[in-house]
Structure 1
Amino acid sequence: MIVYRLSRGPYKNDLSGKGAELAGGRWNSKGVAILYTSESIALCTVEIAVHMPLGIVPKDYYLIKIELPDEASIKEIQEADLPKDWKSFPHANSTQLLGDAFVQEGDTLIFKVPSATVQGNYNYLINPRHPDFRQVSITETVLFEFDKRLFVKE
């Protein structure tokens, strides 16, 4: 399975989940390492855009193509099974608890979750502490140029 992520230059080869561990996110609390990836390049783009202040075009980003083992274990959660506040902004603690439990249980490598930004799309959260994580690999890294129309009001 191929998934994608957009990362700033200095972190383009880092799959440790350290950034999410330091900052926390929708699907993890601070202190819990998790690697956020998306099913498509378009979804990655939107996920970055929603976190950027209007007028600032992201620079020095790389598109990372990541291969996950075909036989990898996947835990999937349906939108209907999520707490009512799962799409809230700022993100809710309820979704962080779900992601934290996924990492701590350690049963599966991948957690497939619905995107809060693009209905009908999915993000794939990767547990860097899972034994199969050593089979996760970067297959391509290319400089990514965002379309400035996403960020600049004309």
Structure 2
Amino acid sequence: MLLYRITRCTYAKDLSGTGARLYGGRWNNIGRAMVYTASSRALATLEALVHLPTAIIPDDFCITTIDAPEDIFEADMSLFPPNWNVYPEPEILKRTGDFFLKQNEHLLLKVPSAIVKQEFNYLINPLHARISEVKVLETEPFTFDERLL
């Protein structure tokens, strides 16, 4: 399956999950490596934008196309509070992602986007045995349309 992420070009081919390990994310605590990807280029754009300061958008971004096997565990959203998509996120989301990583049974965790609930993000476990099957197919420079800023 094809997945997408937008990052600084320096990190475009990095599938180690270091950024999430160092800073944490909606679905993981600090200290747990995870690679956040989106199911479409459009969703990847929105996911990148919400994490950037609006005053200055750096011009050194790339969009990465990733091919990953469909070894997926889908989060059961009925287990989460109705406000799961708020910021800051409920702690149960981080615990769920950390548990997914600890179990190490699946390569991908499918979760809805907090921005567009009907779209999905796929979180890659970089320590899974099948990580070698995840391939960066393409990286190319990416510029945010000024109308979005």
Same fold, judged at TM 0.5 (above): yes
C-alpha deviation, 1:90, in angstroms: 1.4
**Structure 1 residue runs of 4 or more that deviate by more than 2 Å after TM superposition:** 53-58, 78-85
State which drifts further: 51-60 or 126-135: 51-60
Query: In structure 2, what is the Cα distance between the partners aligned to 1:83 and 1:101?
Result: 18
Query: In structure 1, what is the Cα distance between the partners aligned to 2:107 and 2:39?
Result: 16
Gaps of 5+ in 1: none
Aligned residue for 1:103, secondary structure, equals: helix
Query: In structure 2, what is the Cα distance between the partners aligned to 1:87 and 1:41?
Result: 21
Q: CA RMSD in A?
A: 1.2
| One-letter amino acid of the counterpart of residue 102, structure 1 | F
Query: In structure 2, what is the Cα distance between the partners aligned to 1:35 and 1:139?
Result: 16
Would you say 1:11 and 2:11 are equivalent positions? yes
Aligned residue for 1:98, secondary structure, equals: helix
C-alpha deviation, 1:54, in angstroms: 2.3
Query: In structure 2, what is the Cα distance between the partners aligned to 1:79 and 1:56?
Result: 35
1:108-153 deviations in whole A, cap 9, x for unaligned?
A: 11100000011200000010111011100100000001101111xx
Aligned residues: 149
Gaps of 5+ in 2: none
For 2:99, the equivalent position in structure 1 comes to 101
Aligned-pair identity (%): 43
Report if the CA contact (8 A) 1:74-1:111 is conserved: yes
Query: In structure 2, what is the Cα distance between the partners aligned to 1:92 and 1:82?
Result: 9
For 1:123, the equivalent position in structure 2 comes to 121
